[in-house]
Chains A and B, each alone.
Chain A
Amino acid sequence: MNVVTNNKWIGQRTIRPDGMDKVTGRAQFAADFNMPGQIWGKILRSPHPHARIRGINTSKAEKLPGVKAVVTAKDIVDFPIEKGAVPLGIQDMRWMCRNVMAREKALFPGHPVAAVAATTEEIAAEACKLIEVDYEVLPWTIEIEDAIKPDAPVLHEWNKWEGKPSNIVGRLEHKKGDIAEGFKQADVVIERTFTTRPVHQGYIEPHACTISVAGDGKTTIWSSSQGQFMVRAMTSLLTGIPQSDIRAIPAEIGGGFGGKTIIYLEPIATMLAKKSGRPVKMVMTRDEVMRATGPTSASRSTVKIGATKDGRIVAARGTFYLQAGALPGSPIRGAAGCSFTPYDIPNLLSEGYDVCSNRSKVAAYRAPGAPIGAYAVECVMDEVAEALKIDPLDFRKINGAKEGTKASHGPVLPRIGYIETVEAAKASPHYNAPLGDGHGKPRGRGVASGFWFNAGGESSAQVNITEDGNVVVTTGHPDIGGSRAAIANICAELLGIDYSRVSVIIGDTQTVGFSNLTGGSRVLFASAMVVTQSTEKIIQTLRERAAKIWNIDPEAVKWENGAAHPSSPNAGQFEPLTLAELADKAPAMGGPIGAGVQLNTQGADGGYGTHVCDVEIDTDLGIARVIRYTAVQDVGRAIHPGYVEGQLQGGVVQGIGWALNEEYIYNKDGKVDNAGFLDYRMPVCSDMPMIDCIMVEIPNPKHPQGVKGVGEVPVVPVMAAVANAIYNALGIRFYSLPMSPPKISAALDANVKQAAE
């Protein structure tokens, strides 16, 4: 499984550099930073799902003793809609500026309309109540079915669909072959419609920042995010302060899962700090996080798959409607683009529709869109396999994509490890074990697969040798999944020194080169490349220094076990020069030793996983519990197996929550009715079995260590694996999430009733 050959550190479960601080409470998260003289910012949020803002009067709030500044949309740079897209990563600044602070209209309950900074949090909150907003309350729409009706209230009148104002704000299509012809060849065709609810990323750390704007305009931001450069760029665009004047310092991050790839507070706090001349601190409450930061989309998907008797899929069609929330940008690319990629399907049509509605703007969530699409596709795959009487894993293997397959989303696939994940699942102890006796509680087993694109992109690193001969590596990506430990493994391996001599830190925007955000499962792929190249440059320098000292040719020096050696006896007889010795001699031999590399990394390979899930059901209460789970994934190469497993396990747990209990519930006024962890039911530890991991290692040949992204794939197959297992236990298929106790119970009762009739 996890074969490590000739490596000392790559593949080792080293202790993470940030571990001690985190378990002892010493780590500095966003809300832990304070500055002398700091004041507090609070946001006034719209109580209405949809309302035109006719005017805002802040004069009473400004007069309240203790209030130092008030900010409204007037203080945030506008990106006019008619001037066209201003992209920044996957975001469009036209939507970002309106999401950070409502402009023409408030588009969801919780949408910021103004903000206050005051000497205490309480005064700021009190001042918010004194702000008078003249709203023209408008009819609203939240659910996809309602929002796409012809007579639905339209959020953005400028948006036209088929010539009329509409909430459908985007469409994407992937096409291959001719589906009409393909379905004609099929012996079995199954078409189903599925719905999922919005679910939140559920990071434990709420959004928070402390921001200082000095008299000369120099701005410092302490916040936690998935990208300090994203924070700097967006804040710059929304405040007009040049990037060179904004230093964004990344705090430790208490979870993001995609939800911290955009900003909410920083531009507001920056303007409050600028206007007041005081450092401003803002910390969201959990309620604000749940109401106003992005959960992922609700969805409505229809999937049709046709196959011949021998188990070959001949045609497939998927139509995925995803809820974008207040402003365009739902992850239709992930849903329409990823769901069919594990399979070689000759005739395919996959479409995605982006639907606006009066809920908070969607934010990325782990493999955005892909789990939604996979839920529908993988459940239909299960039904087709059943109809054909083929083992569901065999069915997937027969149709599995491999090197040379033209993927629905365009590319011809390189050497991929999908089929290997299916084979490993089939051979796993789990798949071959009996389900066991549930003592009256039916048990079932389900499988499902999933794919995620994975990404490369820009990364920078600086590797410096300290005067005492140790190593400091600086990279530009917030570490959410253990990347510091993995980078230290790689650097220690290359230099041939002990892991503990390598210290990896995350630089701020003004001390390390541009690095794109932590997302798309890109961080280790990209940062390993720049760290490797930097370290190789250092090794070259070290060889040159030794050559100079020995007065031989640099080519005659080799670097091994942390020291320079003559490459062969012919090169001469010299005692090895260690890293520490060369560092000591550095001043005399050419100066400090260090190297930096900046790249727009290319060559990321997609990731594939196949999961096996067992459930047990308390039929009297409708409670489904996952009792055994195995996640198989092609991980490229597990640089740090412990954190690769951590990613797999974490993704599975989030998927189980999505499958069984998590959902946004809206009340009749269009407000979130469960904006807290009591009623937004994320899984707790005791809900989970140990999640077993099988890491299939098919190295990426375009990467120096063979790395593939691993963080997002593991959430993709989960909801389908759970749904298929529940079907296997009960003989009932569920076409909507979550499969919560009342829903399972009602379905069982309906079955009993039907049987009786």
Chain B
Amino acid sequence: MAEIRYLAPRSLDEAIGAFAAAGSAARILAGGTDLLVQMRSGMVAPGVIVDIKKIPEMTTIEETSDGGFRIGAAVSGAVLAEHARFGKVWPGVLEAVNLIGSKQVQGRASAGGNLCNGSPAGDSVPAMIAAGAVVTVQGPNGRREMKVEEVPAGPGRTNLKPGEILVSFKLPPRPPGSGDAYLRMIPRTEMDIAVVGIGVSLTIKDGVCTAARVGLGAVAPTALLVEPAAKALIGTKLDAAALEKAAEACRAACRPIDDKRGTVAYRIKTAGVLLKRTVAIAAKRATEK
């Protein structure tokens, strides 16, 4: 009964205009792997859909002159995986994005959609937080930048202002000796939602961890940057004591709920276990290069 208008603007300005004009009835459509599912189940009923996949800036990957990357918000997981260099520089971010759904879902799902959907369990979010990614958002009042960890506001909500669209992710250049990794706990082996997810990014010089960031997902209303865990790692040789301290920091950061996906006790324990495992993989990647 309710009519839906579908728009597929060719430029960002056009998209911003259409999105802002439609007001709260409008939804951005990237891959649609969340949005269409939510529409089918009756959770949302948008009056206007603004498809951003026809906008070049939002569907391209660019390696910046400083060695960083700019990834359009609507780039699909499959396209990101095909990029010649991205996965070599940010294997952890790539594996997180590629964990989303199945082969079919990968052909559509984007990191932008994953972040803007606002699920605390979105897989790419902790990895992006660990990577220190910054997003560019644009709205009727112009452009601004936000850290990834500042975007989610709670389950299903973001800190984007009305009319704002997430344009792209910016990942910083990588110093030598860096590596990242993402692990999630799911009861099955695929096609499941994270009970806990952890992204870790490290830089190691002469065996000592000189920089670290830890992102933690599915254990609180939003994905978290766990600074105490990073602090526990920096300046150490990632020995057992340092790992245990970082694991403890992750456990302490958890504010989970008992639900159909896991108990509070289980989630907290798992956060610590995964921290150690993820650090081990990131460290291996950092030192292998």
List residues of chain A with CB under 8 Å of any chain B CB. Answer: 120, 122-123, 126, 287, 620-623, 660-661, 665, 673-674, 678-679, 681, 683-684, 686-687, 740-742, 745-746, 749
Contact = CB atoms under 8 A, between A and B. Distances in A.
23 contacts: A620-B273, A621-B270, A621-B273, A622-B266, A623-B185, A623-B187, A660-B187, A661-B187, A661-B188, A673-B259, A673-B260, A678-B193, A679-B260, A683-B188, A684-B191, A686-B188, A686-B189, A741-B185, A741-B262, A741-B266, A742-B262, A742-B265, A745-B269
A744 B164 CA distance: 45
Nearest to B272: A620
A585 B54 CA distance: 68
B62 interface: no
Contacts of B1: 120, 122-123, 126
Contact of A745 (B2, B190, B193, B266): B266
A665 B260 contact: yes
Interface in B242-262: 259-262
Nearest to A625: B189
A684 B190 contact: yes
Given A122-B2, A673-B259, A681-B192, 14 more contacts: A621-B270, A660-B187, A674-B260, A678-B192, A679-B260, A684-B190, A686-B189, A686-B190, A687-B188, A741-B185, A741-B262, A742-B266, A746-B265, A749-B269
B277 to A, nearest CB: 8
Nearest to B42: A125
Interface string B192-215: 110100000000000000000000
Given A120-B1, A126-B1, A681-B192, A621 B263 contact: no
B65 interface: no
Interface string B87-102: 0000000000000000
Contacts of A749: 269
Contacts of A126: 1
Contacts of B189: 684, 686-687
Nearest to A740: B187
A319 B273 CA distance: 41
A618 to B, nearest CB: 9
A683 B191 CA distance: 10
Nearest to A287: B41
A153 to B, nearest CB: 25
A681 B269 contact: no
B266 A684 contact: no
Contacts of B188: 661, 681, 683-684, 686-687
Contacts of A622: 266
B246 to A, nearest CB: 15
Contacts of A122: 1-2
A287 B43 CA distance: 13
A740 B188 CA distance: 10
A540 B187 CA distance: 60
A194 to B, nearest CB: 21
A66 B152 CA distance: 42
Q: Which 9 A-B pairs have the closest CB atoms?
A: A742-B266, A686-B189, A620-B273, A665-B260, A122-B1, A742-B263, A674-B260, A687-B189, A673-B260
Interface in B93-139: none
A622 B274 CA distance: 13
Contacts of A287: 41
Contacts of A745: 266, 269-270
B187 A681 contact: yes
Contacts of B185: 621, 623, 741
A577 B263 CA distance: 74
A752 B15 CA distance: 58
A527 B168 CA distance: 62
A122 B42 CA distance: 11
Contacts of A686: 188-190
Interface string B30-48: 0000000000010000000
Nearest to A65: B1
B34 to A, nearest CB: 12
Nearest to A660: B187
Nearest to A672: B260
Contacts of B191: 684
B207 to A, nearest CB: 24
A661 B269 CA distance: 19
A120 B187 CA distance: 39
Interface in B13-30: none
Nearest to A118: B1
A665 B260 CA distance: 7
Of the candidates B188, B190, B273, the one having the most CB atoms from chain A within 10 angstroms of its own CB is B188
Contacts of B193: 678-679
Nearest to A682: B188
Nearest to B276: A620
Contacts of B269: 745, 749
Nearest to B40: A285
A679 B260 CA distance: 7
B61 to A, nearest CB: 28
Nearest to B263: A742
Nearest to A619: B273
Contacts of B273: 620-621
A675 to B, nearest CB: 10
Of the candidates A620, A681, A742, the one having the most CB atoms from chain B within 10 angstroms of its own CB is A742
B196 to A, nearest CB: 9
Nearest to A126: B1
A741 B187 contact: yes
A710 B192 CA distance: 32
A660 B270 CA distance: 18
Of the candidates B193, B195, B261, the one having the most CB atoms from chain A within 10 angstroms of its own CB is B261
A686 B99 CA distance: 14
Of the candidates B1, B262, B265, B270, the one having the most CB atoms from chain A within 10 angstroms of its own CB is B1
Nearest to B273: A620
A646 to B, nearest CB: 22
Nearest to B2: A122
Nearest to A741: B187
Interface string B1-18: 110000000000000000
A406 B185 CA distance: 50
Contacts of A665: 260
A665 B189 CA distance: 21
A381 to B, nearest CB: 28
Contacts of B195: 741
A687 B187 CA distance: 9
B170 to A, nearest CB: 32
Contacts of A679: 193, 260-261
Of the candidates B2, B41, B192, the one having the most CB atoms from chain A within 10 angstroms of its own CB is B192
A678 B191 CA distance: 8
A684 B193 CA distance: 13
Nearest to B266: A742
B205 to A, nearest CB: 30
B251 to A, nearest CB: 13
Contacts of B2: 122
Nearest to A677: B191
A745 B196 CA distance: 15
A15 B76 CA distance: 38
Nearest to B190: A686
B45 to A, nearest CB: 10
A623 B188 CA distance: 9
A120 B266 CA distance: 46
A660 B189 CA distance: 13
Interface in B151-198: 185, 187-193, 195
A621 B195 CA distance: 11
A229 B265 CA distance: 52
Nearest to B259: A673
A623 B265 CA distance: 15
Contacts of A683: 188
Nearest to A64: B1
A40 to B, nearest CB: 12
Contacts of B263: 742, 746
A681 B273 CA distance: 23
Nearest to A688: B189
Nearest to A618: B273
